Chain A
Amino acid sequence: MKSSGRSTITLTVLTVLVYMIMWAPAIVLIVFSFSSNKYGISWENFTTRWYFELLSNVGVRKALARSVFIALVTVVIATVTGTLTAYGLYKFKFRGKGTLRTVILLPIIIPYIVTAGSLLVYFTRVIHIPLGYITVIIAHVSFSIPLSVFVVLGRMQRINWTLEEASMDLGANKLTTWRKITIPLLLPAIIASAVLIFPWSFNDFTVTYFTAGVGITTLPIYVFSQIRFGTIGPVINTIGTIFILLPVIGLLLMNFFQKKEML
């Protein structure tokens, strides 16, 4: 069907406008991160100087390392736990199954502030563990598991489970079947959830702020603390660019893996 020329033009114009409004701030940020203007508010000359300054800043480097470390650990724990949970929820019947399903959703439904605050109280007043990497990771994992569970669960609905039976019929025990058949089939979903969780954990501010205590300065927290002292200037643009591009790359990767799993 050929749409009339007029409506195609209108559609195109509208689309461009919408995208511009959505992306303008981000694009400005990215562009100005390469500007030599000290305050990052206008265009002067092209430079990658700020990126190098960022990387040479010890505080930034340490914060970056911490963020990456926490995100990686979170991804590993959350995807493993999430996958096992999804498998159990899908395949088995047990008492409290419905409750578990609802409870898993809670971290996503309840506002971050509430959960973060209550976790803080829990860590300090109830179980008395010192704030640090452990508490941050626990907090991050509890927010990430629902993501992993539901991405994997979604994939499980579309898998032909006779494949597991065929594997056992051919001589593979449960463990081998899991290793050779189940996990490979679930892999696109597992990777997709990992790719969603990493940027989330990396970018998180609220929850980390509440549960990190002193000394665990992740990159977002570092940036926040620097803004208050006004020392950071154009580095905001630089870090902002990284924070924008990371999830975009993550989403593109996830898309790629989702397409691969047309099995």
Chain B
Amino acid sequence: MNNRDSIYCVELKNVVKRFKTITAVDHVSINVEQGKVFSLLGPSGCGKTTTLRLIAGLEFLDEGDVLIDGIVVNDIPPYKRECSTVFQNLALFPHMTMEDNIAYGLERRKVPKPEINKRVGDMLDLMGLIGMEKRRPSQLSGGQQQRVALARSLILRPKILLLDEPLSSLDRKLRKEMQIELKRIQQEVGITFLYVTHDQKVALSISDIIAVMRDGKLEQVGSPKAIYEAPRTMFVAAFMGAINIFPGKVSAGGNGKINIKTESGMTISAIESKDIHNEEISGISVHPELIEVSPRDKDAKGDNNFIGKIREIIYQGDFVEMIISLDRSDKLITAHLMRSSLYQEDQFSPGEEVLVHWDLRSSNITK
């Protein structure tokens, strides 16, 4: 099907890629909408970079189809595909000036010299790189190199920009700045982004859609809010920081509320899920920032109240991390208490007995 007005910039249909005995990409299907930021998120080795390379044409697939703007591009070499990649190590040509690096793609397309000069000039302006065009990459700072890599790809006005962990080599402050820059440029130019990262914070802040990958397969695809607040599998929950994981099965239910009996012997209440059936439930996950810690003798209200003993208190600056062991089980719960909440409660100390509570809605059901 050659539908040029596809609403999807990129589609992957049941794509498989194997390297000898390893299946790096295992029947992955995704649809990337025009003009949106789509992130592939996952740990090292999950197949996200391979997937990106399959779209770029730097790897050829074994099964399935890759479509760009509705056209199947499986056999089309990378230099004929209308996408551009920003590599993790930037891959700036060290023997060329900044100008020549940025102009490279346009020269390959035989764009006339005057037009190249104009477009390069505009791009340098957009990226705040005016005055440095004769410099070699080795003479630029990390942030500047990043922008050159971006400029080099953007100048070609590709249908989609593929970014492979472009910020991982930058220090924290620079990373934050570049993140905002990237988002700004993306929205200004209106270009589709496919962003590959292992950093959930980056993915959460810039994406419209996140696809979490594991061992070559898709675990969950959804908005950042959905991925973070309602992870559907234990893996996604743990990866997004919901480190309180309680494997268990449904023991009772009614009126939209269900009880889960965990392996450690606890009974946790949650609100029935619309997309996960009771029989499919494998457990509950709770984010540490949703756990309330109060003095032991406080009145227990609502569901999910447990008594526990503080094992460890770890100071993290903006919040305090508390590791609490629950009575009647060996289960350890991690709670993050923001500084503001600590003003209302007494100071806690290790060994103290406390009341642990979380709201019914904070219990997240996983498959």
Task: Let me know if A168 is at the binding interface, CB within 8 A.
Answer: yes
Report B-chain residues with C-beta under 8 Å of the C-beta of A172: 79, 104, 108
Task: Let me know if B93 is at the binding interface, CB within 8 A.
Answer: yes
The docked-state distance in angstroms from the alpha carbon of A185 to that of B94 is: 9
The contact string, 1 if C-beta is below 8 Å from chain B, for chain A 38-58, is: 000000000000000000000
Known: A185-B95, A263-B138. A169 touches B89 (CB 8 A): no
CB pair B79–A173 under 8 Å, yes or no, is yes
Chain B interface residue count, CB cutoff 8 Å, equals 23
CB pair B95–A169 under 8 Å, yes or no, is no
Report A-chain residues with C-beta under 8 Å of the C-beta of B87: 162, 165-166
The docked-state distance in angstroms from the alpha carbon of A250 to that of B94 is: 26
The docked-state distance in angstroms from the alpha carbon of A185 to that of B87 is: 19
Task: Let me know if A98 is at the binding interface, CB within 8 A.
Answer: no
The docked-state distance in angstroms from the alpha carbon of A172 to that of B156 is: 13
CB pair A169–B78 under 8 Å, yes or no, is yes
Task: Let me know if B109 is at the binding interface, CB within 8 A.
Answer: yes
Q: Which of B256-283 contact A (CB under 8 A)?
A: none
Instruction: Give B80's nearest chain A residue, CB to CB.
Output: A171
Task: Let me know if A110 is at the binding interface, CB within 8 A.
Answer: no
Q: Which of A139-180 contact B (CB under 8 A)?
A: 160, 162-163, 165-173, 176
The residue that A167 contacts in the complex, of B57, B89, B104, B153, with Cβ under 8 A, is: B104
Q: Nearest Cβ in chain A — how far from B114, in angstroms?
A: 19
Task: Let me know if A181 is at the binding interface, CB within 8 A.
Answer: yes
Task: Let me know if B190 is at the binding interface, CB within 8 A.
Answer: no
Task: Let me know if B56 is at the binding interface, CB within 8 A.
Answer: yes
CB pair B95–A170 under 8 Å, yes or no, is no
Main secondary structure, interface of A, reads helix
Q: Nearest Cβ in chain A — how far from B88, in angstroms?
A: 8
Report B-chain residues with C-beta under 8 Å of the C-beta of A166: 85, 87, 91, 93
Report A-chain residues with C-beta under 8 Å of the C-beta of B95: 184-185, 263
The docked-state distance in angstroms from the alpha carbon of A114 to that of B108 is: 51
CB pair B93–A169 under 8 Å, yes or no, is no
Task: Let me know if B142 is at the binding interface, CB within 8 A.
Answer: no
Task: Let me know if B84 is at the binding interface, CB within 8 A.
Answer: yes
CB pair A170–B77 under 8 Å, yes or no, is no
Q: Which of B75-126 contact A (CB under 8 A)?
A: 77-79, 83-85, 87, 89, 91, 93-95, 104-105, 108-109
Q: Which of A210-263 contact B (CB under 8 A)?
A: 263
CB pair A165–B93 under 8 Å, yes or no, is no
The docked-state distance in angstroms from the alpha carbon of A160 to that of B57 is: 19
The contact string, 1 if C-beta is below 8 Å from chain B, for chain A 181-223, is: 1001100000000000000000000000000000000000000
Q: Nearest Cβ in chain A — how far from B96, in angstroms?
A: 9
The residue that B84 contacts in the complex, of A160, A169, A181, A184, with Cβ under 8 A, is: A169
Q: Nearest Cβ in chain B — how far from A41, in angstroms?
A: 52
CB pair B156–A162 under 8 Å, yes or no, is no
The docked-state distance in angstroms from the alpha carbon of A171 to that of B76 is: 12
With most chain B CB atoms within 10 A of its CB, the pick from A166, A181, A184 is A166
The docked-state distance in angstroms from the alpha carbon of A185 to that of B95 is: 7
Task: Let me know if B58 is at the binding interface, CB within 8 A.
Answer: yes
The docked-state distance in angstroms from the alpha carbon of A171 to that of B85 is: 11
The residue that A168 contacts in the complex, of B77, B89, B153, B156, with Cβ under 8 A, is: B77
With most chain A CB atoms within 10 A of its CB, the pick from B84, B91, B109 is B91
CB pair A163–B93 under 8 Å, yes or no, is yes
Q: List 23 A-B contacts (CB under 8 A).
A: A160-B89, A160-B91, A162-B89, A162-B91, A165-B58, A166-B85, A166-B87, A166-B93, A168-B77, A169-B57, A169-B78, A169-B79, A170-B84, A170-B104, A170-B152, A170-B153, A171-B105, A171-B109, A172-B104, A176-B108, A181-B93, A185-B95, A263-B138
B residues adjacent to A (C-beta < 8 A) = 56-58, 77-79, 83-85, 87, 89, 91, 93-95, 104-105, 108-109, 138, 152-153, 156
What 9 A-B pairs come out closest when comparing CB atoms? A166-B91, A171-B108, A170-B105, A263-B94, A162-B91, A168-B78, A169-B85, A168-B79, A171-B79
